[in-house]
Amino acid sequence: MPEYPENATRLAGDTYVVPGLTNAGYLDGLGIDTTGDEEAYVGVPLDTLAITHGHADHFSIAHVLRDAGARVLAARDDAALVENPDINIRGMFSWAKPSDEMTTRLFRGVPCAVDGYLEDWDDARATPIALPGHTLGHHGFLTRDGVLFTGDALYLSDLWQQHPLPYAIDPGMVAASLGTIAATGCEWVVPAHGRPVTRDEAPRHVDFHLGQVKAIETLLLEGLRDGLTTEQAVAFVSERRGLAENAAAYWLAVTTVKGYLGELLGRGAIEFYVHEHAGWWRTLA
Ligand SMILES: [Zn+2]
């Protein structure tokens, strides 16, 4: 019987990283997210599967592992997204019915029943740490070996080239969660996308991410000086950040830019008004 998923590499103690498009974790029968590769888990003992958040690339084969006997746990705020991934697509389109071709692959997934909430966690193998902002219920996990799996709460500096506007529903929460990561005692930090980094290397990436959040805010404040509609604000940020021009990138940007607009509005840095039946945003002097 294999002791850990195929191709997994041991980082510290009993904690393994299972590499994939989405990195997963494994420790002594506890899985943290999944890769997309069912074969890698065949015969591996897995009693519990903890999901960082309700985006389909993080629980792609959870239904298979649950059928094989694992208990699936997710945060209260994200559990519905795991059980019904279509909610993400509906949310993206303001709950109206979207058509199939406009939806991003990342949000389409196989539903998986959730057996319990991270809020009721009682497992010495790891500790869930709330890291909201990418989604409301996003959590990281710190294993007993000092390995912190951060899901999508941290993007390494080298990833920003590829993802110049990472999905975020609440940049204020993203920044606070980066502070939580920086303050968590650990030996390794493992983001879901990218490579594991050592504790010493982590602050540089946290600071870079914080700097990018700041830069996007500054960009918006500048772009909104004479007022822009929501649609224009999305186009402005997308163009200036160098996003690819396609439907998937557009719809992700709509949510993320609205996240920034809401943050700046809440801080009193911009105003919102309706003019000629369009929503406008303008920087306050
Ligand atoms: Zn995600």
pLDDT digits (tens, 9 = 90+) for 93-130: 888 888 776 666 656 789 999 999 999 999 999 999 99
Compute, in angstroms, the gap from residue 196 CA to the centroid of ligand 1: 17
Predicted local distance difference test score (pLDDT) of residue 283: 98
Please give the average per-residue pLDDT across 65-72, as a whole number.
98
Higher pLDDT, 43 or 90: 43
Compute, in angstroms, the gap from residue 55 CA to the centroid of ligand 1: 5
The answer to whether residues 192 and 151 touch, using CB atoms and an 8 Å cutoff, is yes
Please give the average per-residue pLDDT across 57-82, as a whole number.
97
Compute, in angstroms, the gap from residue 191 CA to the centroid of ligand 1: 11
Share of the chain above pLDDT 90, in %: 88
Q: Which two tokens stand for residue 181?
A: 């990561």
Predicted local distance difference test score (pLDDT) of residue 285: 79
- pLDDT exceeds 80 at position 44: yes
Compute, in angstroms, the gap from residue 109 CA to the centroid of ligand 1: 12
Give 20-27's long-range contacts (Cβ < 8 A, gap of 24+): 21/57, 21/193, 22/57, 22/58, 22/60, 22/192, 22/193, 23/149, 23/190, 23/191, 23/192, 23/193, 23/194, 23/196, 25/141, 25/143, 25/147, 25/149, 25/190, 27/125, 27/126, 27/143, 27/144, 27/145
The answer to whether residues 25 and 147 touch, using CB atoms and an 8 Å cutoff, is yes
Compute, in angstroms, the gap from residue 236 CA to the centroid of ligand 1: 23
Compute, in angstroms, the gap from residue 279 CA to the centroid of ligand 1: 28
Compute, in angstroms, the gap from residue 204 CA to the centroid of ligand 1: 22
Q: Count other C-beta atoms under 10 Å from residue 279's C-beta.
A: 14
Q: How far is CA 131 from the centre of its chain?
A: 9
Compute, in angstroms, the gap from residue 235 CA to the centroid of ligand 1: 22
Place of tokens 């402005």: 236
Compute, in angstroms, the gap from residue 227 CA to the centroid of ligand 1: 31
Predicted local distance difference test score (pLDDT) of residue 89: 84
Domains, the chain, in order of start with CATH, read 9-200 (3.60.15.10), 215-283 (1.10.10.10)
CA–CA distance, 82 with 63 (Å, rounded to integer): 10
Compute, in angstroms, the gap from residue 278 CA to the centroid of ligand 1: 30
Predicted local distance difference test score (pLDDT) of residue 98: 81
Predicted local distance difference test score (pLDDT) of residue 259: 98
Predicted local distance difference test score (pLDDT) of residue 93: 87
Give 131-164 pLDDT, tens digit per residue. 999 999 999 999 999 999 999 999 999 999 999 9
CA–CA distance, 217 with 256 (Å, rounded to integer): 11
- pLDDT exceeds 90 at position 210: yes
Predicted local distance difference test score (pLDDT) of residue 105: 63
pLDDT, the chain, mean: 95
Compute, in angstroms, the gap from residue 274 CA to the centroid of ligand 1: 32
Give 80-96 pLDDT, tens digit per residue. 999 999 888 888 888 88
Comparing CA positions, the residue from 12, 3, 2, 8 lying closest to residue 37 is 8
CA–CA distance, 116 with 105 (Å, rounded to integer): 26
The answer to whether residues 16 and 3 touch, using CB atoms and an 8 Å cutoff, is no
CA–CA distance, 239 with 257 (Å, rounded to integer): 12
Q: Which two tokens stand for residue 135?
A: 């989604």
Compute, in angstroms, the gap from residue 128 CA to the centroid of ligand 1: 17
Is residue 225 left, alpha or beta, with left meaning phi > 0 and alpha meaning psi from -120 to 50?
A: alpha
Compute, in angstroms, the gap from residue 211 CA to the centroid of ligand 1: 20
The answer to whether residues 269 and 284 touch, using CB atoms and an 8 Å cutoff, is yes
Q: Which residues surround ligand 1, an ion (CB under 5 A)?
A: 55, 152
H-helix or E-strand containing 141?
strand 139-143
Compute, in angstroms, the gap from residue 276 CA to the centroid of ligand 1: 36
Compute, in angstroms, the gap from residue 1 CA to the centroid of ligand 1: 32
Predicted local distance difference test score (pLDDT) of residue 261: 98
- pLDDT exceeds 90 at position 247: no
